[in-house]
Chains A and B, each alone.
Chain A
Amino acid sequence: MEIFETVNWSLLAPILVIQAILLIVALVDLIKIEKTNGPKWIWAIVILLINIIGPILYFVVGRRNH
């Protein structure tokens, strides 16, 4: 696709890295955590399938503190 040739990769790469970090940290946390708000497997799907927003959504809403 044309879009891949025109973009500035040095600007896009950091975004992809951030996205990957959020995804991995969210998954690691989900595996270690005892309980979440709502079923764990739903959060696994949310984290994996919703790009960028999924992991953030998990941290803000899904994670149960204390």
Chain B
Amino acid sequence: MTKAINLTLKVWRQKGPEDKGRLETYDAKDISTNMSFLEMLDVINEQLTLAGKEPIAFDHDCREGICGMCGAVVNGRPHGPEKGTTLCQLHMRHFSDRDTIFIEPWRSRAFKIIKDLVVDRGALDRLIQAGGYISANTGGAPDANAIPVPQASAELAFDAAACIGCGACVAACPNASAMLFVGAKVSHLVLLPQGEPEAAQRATAMVREMDSLGFGNCSNERECEAECPKEISITNIARLNREYFKSRFFSNVK
């Protein structure tokens, strides 16, 4: 059943990285509850453009929850109040008529704001780069099951590899820590034989890079796993800790 609601939006507007930025208020009138959150922003942007004003800049791409591009903090919750969804998967039926919605960008020293709700998540790319390579044979397609992988390990690795790199864990963490992201990346490689040979090097390099990028320290608040659109568990953070200690205390990695 289609319903239309009226909302008040308080949106973070910031012209550029150097601008101070402020919350601005917009009326969102006659919003269909079948719309997604991003479609609602599209409607607002149409209206702003027609009125000769600057539209709200926000990141988006696939709009089906798999690319990791979209994301904003909605009423204090990264990707909004629904569990296990990205912002593009959030629908307006979860809001009521005359609600006020605060929309803010990811906030972290490591994520500079480019414009409005768009942040530079290049820090996550630098973490991936610091992770380095894995040992995979090139050439013809390898035979199936040439490298035995227990099904349970494959499942755990895949749970971690479900990370789409959206940055919600950093946004949700009271300390703006990237431990869930790094934990997921370290876990999905170390759980498979292909990622095992470089495990020690990878754990040390990624933690070192994470510290240098200005992320906060994990204090096990568990907000990250509660907000992660892919519901990645903090057991991956414990695994990162183990891999880091193994690398620091029991390997040759300096």
A, B bound: no
Show the binding face of A for B, using Cβ within 8 Å: none
